[in-house]
Structure 1
Amino acid sequence: KMARPWRTSLVLLVALYHVISPLYISGEPIGRLAFTEEGTFKIIQFTDMHFGEPNGTENDAKSQEVMRSVLRAESDANLIMMSGDMVSGMKWNGTKGWFAETYARVLVPLKEAGIPYVFINGNHETEGDLSAREILELDRSLSRGQHGLSLMDRVATPSPGRIQSKTSGTNYRMAIYGWNKTAVLPSAILWGLDSETVGCEGMPRSWGCVHPTVLEWLRANAGNAPRVPMIAFVHIPPTEFVTMWSAGGVKNGTRGETTECALLNTGTFAALRALGVQSIYSGHDHSNDYVGEWHGVRLAYGRKTGYGSHG
């Protein structure tokens, strides 16, 4: 189906803060991410863009225009989150360098806007010619020098070797500071989680889920995490998205297709709630954009961005 022009992205207005090294664009330091003087921090969520479909050149160009329209309308955004399925890896044509060429098209509007970004993998990126680790390395190589917009090498991740999964690559904690430039501690934290592809905990008919070792990492952080506002992004929604809908906890938005989550509740929601996360944002289900609250935590879909794939 052709995506309607308004099917762009969810724009998030959140209060947040993170401890990171200085960032660079064209050799000039960006400085650390921080609230504005007015006390706001705006995040644009792009999700399920699906660049690289068989007729990709035309649809990718249309999707770039959708992204540009959002970036123009929200030119004061502080951060872009690409929350998975940026590239349709399952449509890989078998040639070497396919993912790199496709992903470069994804980044064009971001580079034009000059807004820093982070991303999490969805269930389709690693179906192409690159592994999760290689995708991270590619992003770093494309974002060096004059474009230096990616923050993926500036985030706090689990210790090397802790995550025992070939398809899990984007798990991290990112802090954002307050307006006070002398602040040492973050005033809010963003968590990015990789929900992998399929086969949650060995269940072949299930969608993916956050790896158990990542959940251990989250639980280990719970005791010493600062008590500041926190949000989290995970591509495949936790099972509580279904429970909330069934229990009538949805405040607004639509459910245009079945909520496709893992068949097993592995405790992702519980681990994030224990950390103090106040909002969880997902993608994956292209025609869903409902928002609600479950046990004090906001659960929200970002509707599919652009023209790739269905929805």
Structure 2
Amino acid sequence: MFLMLTYPNKTFTILQFTDIHIGEAPFNQEDLKSFEKIKATLESTPADLICITGDLIWSDGVKDPQKGLKALADIFNQYPIPLAITYGNHDSEQSLSRQDLQALEQEYFHYLAPKSHVFCDSHHKECFTIELYKDQRLSNVLYFIDSGADALLDIESYDWVSLEQVNWYKETSQQYLMQHPDLTHDLLFLHIPLPEFEQAGEHIIDGHYWEMNPRISAPKLNTGLFSHILYQHHIHAIFCGHDHDNNFEGVFLNHRFIYGNVSGYNCYGVLPRGYRSITLSPDNMETEIHTYS
């Protein structure tokens, strides 16, 4: 267990994996290829933190989905790099619940990053922050919000960030900013994109916008998280997973909306598989897509 995450030098490097989609054991060739490529990346790529933004596994129709999660953990456990996980819509479709995932995460993964301000809403969707320090001072806060799976109301839609989670973000960010008003380059991670990714897709500065049905797969209900982000004025970029044929970075109202790059082979999509690197400093952030060699 890590007590504190600190900058090793002038910058802090994050690797974002997403949509790995490990399926039924014994694993098929696509899953074995995913394991191989993730392991090769971790062996060759320096990182200060790994973020996985959902859909680590398939659970629908899978007899023992926890075996896929355990196999994935066995790979990450070979590398003593702090790890942060938020879940996607495919992680708990059938036999696993959000509570199960949270318990298995603690059991299976050995190098979890220290969480602060942990909160679960009434449907057990977890929110937390990870604090990054530079020269003994808080430099950046990373916010993680579990965006859920399918709509919890009788609406054909993916789930949305709940009002409880929006309130958690509002109160938590206000606490940080009261004590550290110089925070300007914080990041937010979730799986299902916010509806505002649609507007950001009209102003792409990098990557591809190829998903067609539907284009960003956002929830139909907008619960207003971005409006609070806009007024708090400290979140520099919002990172999501979820769409296998989107990996674009777009801008909306001077905020960066960024898809991760699909990391697993056991799912649809024509984008080359890979991951996203994020190079962070107290007052700057750069990000780049890397495809597996």
Total equivalences in the alignment? 260
More strand by share: 2
Partner AA of 2:222 in structure 1:
N
Residue by residue, what CA displacement relative to the aligned partner does 1:61-93 show, whole Å, maximum 9, x if unpaired? 11011112322331x201111100001111322
Any unmatched runs of 5+ in structure 2?
270-293
Instruction: State how far apart, in whole Å, the 1-side matches of 2:173 and 2:108 are.
Output: 34
Q: CA deviation at 1:55?
A: 7.5
Alignment counterpart, residue 214 of structure 1, candidates 165, 181, 200:
165
Partner AA of 1:89 in structure 2:
S
Partner AA of 1:150 in structure 2:
L
Alignment of 1:1-311 (within 5 A): 23=1, 30-37=2-9, 39-53=10-24, 56-74=27-45, 76-93=46-63, 98-143=64-109, 148-151=110-113, 154-158=115-119, 163-166=121-124, 168=125, 170-178=126-134, 180=135, 183=136, 185-199=137-151, 202-225=153-176, 226-227=180-181, 228=183, 229-245=185-201, 248-257=202-211, 258-275=215-232, 276-311=234-269
Instruction: State how far apart, in whole Å, the 2-side matches of 1:259 and 1:31 are.
Output: 37
Contact 1:99 1:128 in 2 (8 A): no
Residue by residue, what CA displacement relative to the aligned partner does 1:86-114 show, whole Å, maximum 9, x if unpaired? 01111322xxxx13211011122212222
Contact 2:205 2:251 in 1 (8 A): yes
Q: CA deviation at 1:260?
A: 0.6
Instruction: State how far apart, in whole Å, the 1-side matches of 2:77 and 2:226 are.
Output: 33
Any unmatched runs of 5+ in structure 1?
1-22, 24-29
Partner AA of 2:5 in structure 1:
L
Q: List structure 1 segments (4+ residues) > 4 angstroms apart after TM superposition.
A: none
Residue by residue, what CA displacement relative to the aligned partner does 1:230-279 show, whole Å, maximum 9, x if unpaired? 0011100001111122xx31111111212110112211222233342110
What TM-score comes out, normalization by structure 2 length?
A: 0.83
Greater shift in the superposed pair: 81-90 or 226-235 = 226-235
